[in-house]
Amino acid sequence: MKPTNKRSTVYFLAVLAAGIATLLDAGCSEKKPADTEAAVKDTAAKISDAATDLWTNVKNATHEQRTALSDSIGRAADNIQSKADDLGAKLSSLSGDAKTRAQDALDDLNSALTDAKAKAKDLGSASANAWDNAKGDLSAAWQKVEDAYAKAKASFN
């Protein structure tokens, strides 16, 4: 049986969320640097492929799929929020300019997450006429989350 567009969208959202979680966990674990680096590169490649497919499916998602799409993005944002909270717990180990940069990066990430969650909620309640604009807004907001997370993660290295 050929998967429906809704199933494809939900599948790729799930793959993206799982991939992001794996990538973030790999970056926060106590593994050897070489093992972690290889795992991160492999997961990043998988996420990149899934994200490309995901945003293709988001672009092609129908208005009728808005609730499932909105909910999936919301769960992915909650997962990243959890990782941001984990990074925030590490702030006390930093000092001076490094701590200021890390705090600024976390503030940017939290702001991006708040915006992405709002865009996901907007998408879930978008009218048929506003649907395409809502998908574009969500796509732009999610890109900001990805960029802000990368910056925040780097600020702790």
Domain that holds residue 144: 5-154
Report the pLDDT value the prediction gives residue 113, as an integer from 0 to 100.
94
Q: How confident is the model at residue 25 (pLDDT cuts 50, 70, 90)?
A: low
Q: Which residues contact 43 (CB under 8 A, 6 or more apart)?
A: 19, 22, 23, 26
| C-beta of residue 123 within 8 angstroms of C-beta of residue 66 | yes
Whole-prediction pTM value? 0.66
* The pair of three-digit structure tokens given for residue 30, joined into one six-digit string: 């106590």
Report the pLDDT value the prediction gives residue 97, as an integer from 0 to 100.
94
Q: How confident is the model at residue 44 (pLDDT cuts 50, 70, 90)?
A: low
What number is the average pLDDT over the span 56-69? 79
Residue 114 has pLDDT above 90, yes or no: yes
Half-sphere exposure of 144 (CA within 13 A, CB side): 19
Distance of CA 30 to the CA centre of its chain: 22
Total domain count, the chain: 1
Residue 23 has pLDDT above 70, yes or no: no
